[in-house]
Structure 1
């Protein structure tokens, strides 16, 4: 990419439920050059249709070839020579890992998990009632349901769920942990997973983790560690933050919560609108031009970085009328909240199940739910891959 002065890309959200205010200008300018917060230049793709087109263009690679930054990686690197994250692979290399995983996210498997998700959510609701008004929704519900469910799916011991929850949170830099704790998070996470791999070699079960070890897929233990670390963290973090941030958005715009409370059976559709409106994958999807090519009047050079900016795409007027309005009565649209193309979130149906169960149950059990502190006192996670809420005190 030839050297010119590019404007800096801001990821700052003055309003936590909105993407950066520069998004409309980026869309209007089409594909443009920006300076990423890391100091690297990239092509910024902000329009909905352009994002969808380039996400499946074989000339755009997920393999960053050493050009990417840790700010876009789902979990810290195990060590410099570790296998690539599945998120950074293309073609056959990507399918080698994705296809064995996909069998654990079939409609049949999700049907088997539905009752567990409901029981877990009900237990969380009961704990909220036990603790009483003023409870932190993040720890008692938003993180608990997806973390417990992903542990069940993977076949992790029930007794380990708190350990996993802590390690995954640290790995993602959440809860304002110290720099030392965050630095140690990666080694602690992989040390824990190495113990699980060793246990599954001796004690196989029907969980996803055991299948990675015993399923005849040809994975090395090192590959299992990296793959499982990515899946475990990604499998709960995005959903957990959607549940917390989505509830905040609904309570902050009271008419939207009241509409859900009046029709809790629409919770799944509400979840689709919140996925579009919030786009918790705040840094978008970073890709690399695998070759020189031209698209829509823009000339990409090999190894140019390309940022598919999902927050802008989901607020594109070409996708939906009044895109900056949260409307839980809106019919679902084909948003980009789960990404798009070969790397579209493999666990999206599980996330939909969890969000539907949690929001429908929450609206039924706590129709008078409201923030327990002024909205301006809520602390948000803005320096991580996934945008979210640190704490969400609620009352009823």
Structure 2
């Protein structure tokens, strides 16, 4: 049975660009709140910035690997966990992440920038040729990071409609667990085929590199898990940031103009948009390894802990006037990419894609404007990653 998005727990809800007022109120109260996650499991909810960094930054006290697997019919939880970096603790996490770190350094990502610029310009040309209105999600925000991650991983871009559909269902918290389990198995079967092809004939892409250089160090299940995580995270997060971030900028024309005109404004603007929007509602749950204390609250060993990233990034401990978008403020050390050993591996790629796409879009279409006011905007609710389902724009 499907669940209405409004019936989901507060920590995975939004009010347009903002966390719900109830979440902000919890952050301003002492202690932590006892809540239920989207599966009905009890957990402590962390909403303050300092507490969030404490939990996310201490993998010895708060474990990812001890979180009970989500029961999905027909799904072997151990097979599904293999290679899923977000579901592992050191040393397993450390071993696998080390294999990938070199591919996501700032220096390595910088080499990809000309190709990303080419992809951005091609999609802007297509939008200009077709004329207004355009749906930014389907015409720009979704295809650009999808094409980039496909080329990086070695995934056929012609398969994008299928894997995008499966990805959106896997992160949709309103769907019945049986349907999400079925989609998870389909995604695994698809990625298994790509892994087998890479093993038979390794290419120059990331999958080929893993097979050539680390084939004896990783299992087939781990390769499937790694590739699946990178494929979903590599396009879902950036695509939603591009769409939601564009709408946020268009609601602040002075800031859109600054980003359009000043190259030095781009990097801090990306960080501020990440902080302000924090499109991943909450970090992957943790389990307290032993009795502990966070925010003055006693947490028993075995208790589950949820970290609400959007609330933490709106904490006054992080930024002055945190509920306002201000791309001119000094870049804040937000937690939108996580923190600690599970800090987003692909953050340099996401930053580069956004730093390329946002100013290029605003320069190409200086009169860009939403077709609808924000009250009628099609926000993507009820999913693990927040964003837009569609964003009609004109110019």
What is the TM-score with the length of structure 1 in the denominator? Answer: 0.89
Cα distance change on mapping 1:59 and 1:261 into 2, 3 Å: same
Aligned length: 383
Listed as ranges, the matches of 1:92-103 within 5 Å are 92-103=91-102
Listed as ranges, the matches of 1:1-396 within 5 Å are 10-11=10-11, 13=13, 15-36=15-36, 37-57=38-58, 58-66=60-68, 69=70, 79-84=76-81, 85-173=84-172, 184-216=182-214, 217-263=216-262, 265-396=264-395
Contact 2:11-2:308 at 8 Å conserved across structures: no
Cα distance change on mapping 1:284 and 1:80 into 2, 3 Å: closer
- Distance, in Å, in 1 between the alignment partners of 2:74 and 2:277 is 28
Cα distance change on mapping 1:282 and 1:197 into 2, 3 Å: same
Q: Which of structures 1 and 2 has the larger relative contact order (alpha carbons within 8 angstroms, sep 6+)? A: 2
CA deviation vs aligned residue, 1:123-162 (integer Å, no higher than 9, x gap)? 1101111221111101111111111111111122344444
Structure 2, unmatched stretches of 5+, are 1-7
SS of the counterpart of 2:39? coil
SS of the counterpart of 1:43? strand
- Distance, in Å, in 1 between the alignment partners of 2:180 and 2:95 is 31
Cα distance change on mapping 1:11 and 1:45 into 2, 3 Å: closer
- Distance, in Å, in 2 between the alignment partners of 1:172 and 1:12 is 12
- Distance, in Å, in 2 between the alignment partners of 1:38 and 1:181 is 15
Structure 1, unmatched stretches of 5+, are 1-7
SS of the counterpart of 2:301? coil
The alpha carbon displacement at 1:43 in A equals: 1.4
Cα distance change on mapping 1:205 and 1:236 into 2, 3 Å: same
- Distance, in Å, in 1 between the alignment partners of 2:372 and 2:42 is 40
Contact 2:281-2:386 at 8 Å conserved across structures: yes
CA deviation vs aligned residue, 1:282-339 (integer Å, no higher than 9, x gap)? 1334111011223453221111011112111101111110000011222211111100
Cα distance change on mapping 1:167 and 1:239 into 2, 3 Å: same
- Distance, in Å, in 1 between the alignment partners of 2:43 and 2:86 is 19
CA deviation vs aligned residue, 1:155-184 (integer Å, no higher than 9, x gap)? 22344444443443343349x999997664
The alpha carbon displacement at 1:241 in A equals: 0.6
Cα distance change on mapping 1:166 and 1:65 into 2, 3 Å: closer
Contact 2:195-2:220 at 8 Å conserved across structures: yes
- Distance, in Å, in 1 between the alignment partners of 2:113 and 2:71 is 34
- Distance, in Å, in 1 between the alignment partners of 2:66 and 2:345 is 21
Divergent runs of 4+, >4 A: 68-71, 176-184
- Distance, in Å, in 1 between the alignment partners of 2:372 and 2:318 is 35
SS of the counterpart of 1:215? helix
SS of the counterpart of 2:322? coil
What is the TM-score with the length of structure 2 in the denominator? Answer: 0.89
Contact 1:14-1:20 at 8 Å conserved across structures: yes
Contact 2:276-2:323 at 8 Å conserved across structures: yes
Contact 1:244-1:389 at 8 Å conserved across structures: yes
Contact 1:310-1:337 at 8 Å conserved across structures: yes
